[in-house]
Structure 1
């Protein structure tokens, strides 16, 4: 009799638990919403055609990073201002350190998962107080996916930028920040003797945005070497190929294609590039691509 009683209790409990679990699974208010995540790839080239030393996170004077912390995924690119080379300063040092500092702050959780502009500012301020001065200037673009609220937050200073494609259309694209033609906003740390005559924008001048992401969205983050040499329709045609892509290898092939096309057209002296069109609009009669470093980070949103 006792064993029958115990068996009955266990059976009742199992049925009750099953009912509770079924209720949890079917009640939309009790279900945990699936969080989005990014599938990503990166590719780039230095404008110098000679074989150079490979450095992780750097292509020529360009730099990039990708990092995760809990429910946040962050990506960024920076483009060192090449003019510093004439003064004996390596333009790639500033951009590389800026991105590496962003990466470290993310991995340590020392950032706000809704504010990439603050992350960029904190990275810049660390460089300002570095024991050994990291001299130079750089544009930068940082995008942050907050997986908890399915929102992409962006911060862009200068002419690096991002583009988001959804169902075959460009739904978001950053706008260049320019003081005047071919002179973008930039974060700077010049030598003391040059500070009076060097452009230096504050991190809080970065253009910011945020919007909800959807499954299948394609996110491109790139330096101006891409946007100056590839018309939007060419970029769009490539991004459409990887909508909803969850295979990193296939995504890598599209990233490679975008970077290679940008590099090839940058040396094409007969191509009417976006840069040439803007030059003409500013009274400069020129044609051809703009030789530059190329950095492409490509990601798709998966839910």
Structure 2
């Protein structure tokens, strides 16, 4: 009788799977093992005249540029400081690093990332070391016992879930207009506050995804997705990701290749494609920027 029930369960599970229903997926997603890797290459600010003018000591510049990240056991995030603040003399690597710090430190039994982001942002506003600046944020929390992943996305950083060679889930960027993302800000007193973009944590888009064994979760700042498109990202990871791969080594090579294309003026980047559509132009070239990629392998 037990055997018959098992085969009946398996039969119904296959039917649901074929029809694209995920009702029973959680039964196959318990006790997941998460392995993560963080890799980054910051943009060379020493060659940028604006940064050279406003940053007195580029040697002390953040090792991740204006990007930052959270790499916990179950909580993961990428953040991208908004570079426009440098023209007012403010370094947005500070606000992105402090927000990352407070996100990592937040501890609540509910693990509610909405509460986490709100509390972390409030601490940033109260932090005297953060004079001014703004940052985007993509924040995720994974429950390994169920496979449920909650995600908040504010701005143009990105999270995608790669499964069987394609992205089955991803976040959508939030922009007011081209290259003007939603952002959490601490506005300086310059007399131009009304023209500054400033969002609240509750403006973030919320997602809930169910993970399965074999999935790869990719979080990145726009320095990656502004260069490589979804199909190129999926094809590369699908070709090289294996059960026994060195995830750090693989991620390092991935970031190296994206960074190489970002500096290639003959490369047809996603950023240029979008710009050409808007302006009816025919430019080519990569978009040089800070690149941060955090991957989570689900086993």
TM-score of the aligned structures, taking structure 1 as reference length: 0.80
Alpha-carbon distance, 1:148 to partner: 2.8
Q: What is the SS of the residue equivalent to 2:100?
A: helix
The answer on whether the counterparts of 1:242 and 1:251 sit within 8 Å (CA) in structure 2 is no
Structure-to-structure mapping, 1:30-41, within 5 angstroms: 34-41=30-37
Local SS of the residue matching 1:192: coil
Higher Rg of the two aligned structures: 1
5+ long unaligned stretches in structure 1: 1-32
Q: Distance in 2 between matches of 1:205 and 1:62?
A: 21
1:117 equivalent in structure 2: 114
Q: 1:118 offset after TM fit, Å?
A: 2.8
Aligned to 1:6: none
Unaligned runs of 5+ in 2: 1-28, 48-57
**Aligned residue for 2:51?**
none
Partner of 1:240: 238
Match of 2:181 in 1: 184
Corresponding position of 2:50? none
Q: Structure 2 residue aligned with 1:151, among 128, 148, 163? A: 148
Counterpart among 51, 62, 65 of residue 60 in structure 1: 65
CA deviation map 1:184-218 (0-9, x unaligned): 11111011334322100111111111121100100
1:196 aligns with 2:197: no
Secondary structure of the 1:268 match is: coil
Tell me the distance in 1 between the aligned counterparts of 2:166 and 2:278.
Answer: 29
* Aligned with residue 209 of structure 2, among 194, 208, 211: 211
Cα distance in 1 for residues equivalent to 2:215 and 2:147: 12
* TM-score in terms of structure 2 length: 0.81
| Distance (Å, rounded) in 2 between the aligned partners of 1:240 and 1:47 | 27
Alpha-carbon RMSD:
2.3
Q: Which residue of 2 aligns with 1:164?
A: 161
CA contact (8 A) 1:217 1:244 kept: no
